[in-house]
Structure 1
Amino acid sequence: MPSAYRKNTSWRGQARINGQRKTKDGFTTRREALEWASEKERLAKESKSRDIPDRPFQDALERYRDTISITKRGQKFEIRRIDRWLGKGDARPDPLVYIPLEDLQSKHFAEWRDRRLQEVAPGTVLREWTVLSAICSQCAKEWGWLHENPMSRVKRPAEPDSRTRRLQEGEFDQLMIATQYDLINPPESKRERIGAAIVFAIETAMRAGEICNMSWEDIDLERRTVHLPKTKNGNPRTVPLSTTAVTVLKGLQGLDDCKRKAFGLKSDSLDVNFRKIRSKCLIDDLHFHDLRREALTRLAKKVDVLNLAKISGHTDLRILQKVYYAPDMAEVALMLD
């Protein structure tokens, strides 16, 4: 805010420009000093605004989607989120898209946060937050479309409690009955291969995407390993295979649908079909990714924590312990005797 105060027999004007104080002495009246300071701040603001292109935030979303998102491994999900904000398909455009870049402020993202928290879980908002913040950072650091990331001054929603869901008694048998999968016969149908993927996930702690992208050239059945050249965190890793996991893979060999990719499944198809099978079994709130927690908790009884981290690909043991390792404390109590 412009201000003025006396200095000896004259008045000094004071303006704040880009966080810095600018002053000038020698004004006869307080009004003259305030007019100078106000004009200084106005010109600085106009100059700053002229640096920002006359575009709506919609243009930033589209440019990021078409130039940055398409280069990411998780592009499908990121593009889907951006398209929803833009109003593609059945979605209504988010009010954010209409705001000119030069007018975009932290309050607009605070309003977006509050809207979304009324519609979806905090975990979903946090995932969307990451995408929006990356777009704003790109605008500020690379494109010159913003002077700063306005989301840096907005309070993030609280992190939700980590999931602890594991298979409950009888649920695995229900899933196997529903998929009609067994280790003896080759899983020729897609439904049977979903069952094979469930067993393989529990044996290896691999993610759904890693299982679906696994090719035969990455599998060494003699050494009982599978090499994953691309993983979620970008680091390749090699996963050891149990005898059950090897049996699952041998059952897939020679199937027409599994000549290139071992399971002949796409991630989307695995997710959709797993949900259908889960619903058919009347199993509540079980995600395919929960099988990774189930697997790591079982593996923790067989290997030390460092080898467990090597199998899972975690570089931060705190995340491994907090999110994925969910032991039954009654079983731990028996170990103490």
Structure 2
Amino acid sequence: MKIPKPRKRGDSYRIEIMFDGKRYSCTRDTPKECEHWATIKLLELKTGRTEDNKPVKPTITWMDLFNQYYDSVGKYTDSKAWNLTQLKSFEKKVGNLANTLIYDITPKQLTTWRNKRLKEVSDNTVLKEISLYSAMFTYAQKELFLITENPWMQISKPSKPDSRYRRISQQEIEKILKILNYEVGQIPTQSDHYVAWSFLFAIETAMRRGEILNMRKSDIYDGYVHLPKTKNGTKRNVPLSLFAKELVDLISREQEKIIPQSENAFRQMWEKKKAKTDIVDLHFHDTRHEAISRMVRVRKLPVEVLAKITGHKKIEVLVNVYYNPDAQELVEMFNGSAS
């Protein structure tokens, strides 16, 4: 059988062969590599054996791997919604690599993809995507035993961006409450009310959005909330301030789930309403920065106690990422400690 000529696709080459009515293809960096692959592939298909006289590997593309990884692992994690979003947009993000056999994906191809992706999105987004993609190949290596090496381990990752430093002003809080049609002390009855309620509760407790959305009446005790499952896999107790208790008292006694919304509906409401304000660069997770900074300033909590409340296992992350005092707060604490 005559080997077809490879076709150029972007920065790489793609070759397709037919055997017994089935189509096989691969993507390589050069035409010669494509032709070499096609020669070996045809030999394997004709003999039913590999060049090492081993059974032919199962045909599994990166897209196939992603689907299998999601069904077996991804949808059972706390990031299942994000994983599903990544799955739906996967082919658009990686192009021809999605339909390339996982055995054929090279570090050079991944480096080319990384460089292209860095021109489209932030370094942090690329880091998150690489982490997910690398986890898939580790799954293929250590659980499915399909590959012997993870190609992602052979490429350089973008530098981790500086930690986010974002406080929330009282003026911004008022704008968020206004756009969500909510006033402090109001019993929430509508979807936008619950988003506003959660915003206030997060600033008061330093709880994550997901933790608030999963919170139930049965988790609330006299003076604290018990979180049976958190992002880092451990349980913890979060003390409630007087204001936090007042917020809890506003929730109907009949409903077990505090926030009667899905994570996706909540996120869409937050983004849609926030976009109607003039507030720049505010994420819901910034409430955690604000809450932790307030706890230090107002309650003077020692770092080891604060870590128990926030659930941080690494003190340096708590101090260097989430504690964001402004200059005036530092001056006040400095002078206050001398009196």
Q: Distance in 1 between matches of 2:204 and 2:326?
A: 18
Tell me if structure 2 keeps the 8 A contact 1:183–1:251: no
- Map of 2:261 onto structure 1: 265
Question: Which AA in structure 2 matches 1:183?
Answer: V
1:186 alignment partner, SS class: coil
Could you tell me how far 1:195 is from its partner in structure 2?
1.4
Q: Distance in 2 between matches of 1:80 and 1:333?
A: 45
1:73-92 alignment runs, 5 A limit: 73-85=78-90, 87=91, 91=92
1:120 equivalent to 2:118? Answer no
1:238 alignment partner, SS class: strand
Q: Distance in 2 between matches of 1:77 and 1:139?
A: 21
- Map of 2:311 onto structure 1: 313
Question: Which AA in structure 2 matches 1:198?
Answer: F
1:280 alignment partner, SS class: coil
Could you tell me how far 1:94 is from its partner in structure 2?
2.4
Give the % identical residues: 33
Which deviates the most, 272-281 or 223-232? 272-281
Tell me if structure 2 keeps the 8 A contact 1:183–1:247: no
Tell me if structure 2 keeps the 8 A contact 1:52–1:144: no
Could you tell me how far 1:48 is from its partner in structure 2?
9.2
Q: Distance in 2 between matches of 1:250 and 1:48?
A: 71
Q: Distance in 2 between matches of 1:201 and 1:134?
A: 31
Q: Unmatched 5+ residue regions in structure 2?
A: 1-49
2:167 alignment partner, SS class: coil
1:71 equivalent to 2:81? Answer no
Q: Distance in 1 between matches of 2:112 and 2:149?
A: 18
- Map of 1:129 onto structure 2: 130
Tell me if structure 2 keeps the 8 A contact 1:53–1:102: no
Could you tell me how far 1:121 is from its partner in structure 2?
0.8
Label 1:336 to 1:48 Cα distance change in 2 as closer, same or farther (>3 A). farther
TM-score, normalising length: structure 2:
0.79
Q: Unmatched 5+ residue regions in structure 1?
A: 1-44
Deviation track 1:283-313 (CA, whole Å, cap 9, x = no partner) reads 1110100011000000112111111111110
Equivalent pairs, count: 284
Label 1:92 to 1:164 Cα distance change in 2 as closer, same or farther (>3 A). closer
- CA RMSD of superposed structures (Å): 1.9
Q: Which structure has the greater CA radius of gyration?
A: 1
- Map of 2:107 onto structure 1: 106
- Map of 1:239 onto structure 2: 238
Q: Distance in 2 between matches of 1:47 and 1:336?
A: 71
Tell me if structure 2 keeps the 8 A contact 1:181–1:195: yes
Which deviates the most, 176-185 or 275-284? 176-185
- Map of 1:17 onto structure 2: none
- Map of 1:29 onto structure 2: none
1:248 equivalent to 2:247? Answer yes
Tell me if structure 2 keeps the 8 A contact 1:52–1:146: no
2:58 alignment partner, SS class: coil
Deviation track 1:2-42 (CA, whole Å, cap 9, x = no partner) reads xxxxxxxxxxxxxxxxxxxxxxxxxxxxxxxxxxxxxxxxx
Question: Which AA in structure 2 matches 1:78?
Answer: N
Tell me if structure 2 keeps the 8 A contact 1:238–1:311: yes
Label 1:107 to 1:180 Cα distance change in 2 as closer, same or farther (>3 A). same
Label 1:219 to 1:172 Cα distance change in 2 as closer, same or farther (>3 A). same
TM-score, normalising length: structure 1:
0.79
1:281 equivalent to 2:277? Answer yes
Label 1:289 to 1:48 Cα distance change in 2 as closer, same or farther (>3 A). farther
Q: Distance in 2 between matches of 1:288 and 1:97?
A: 33
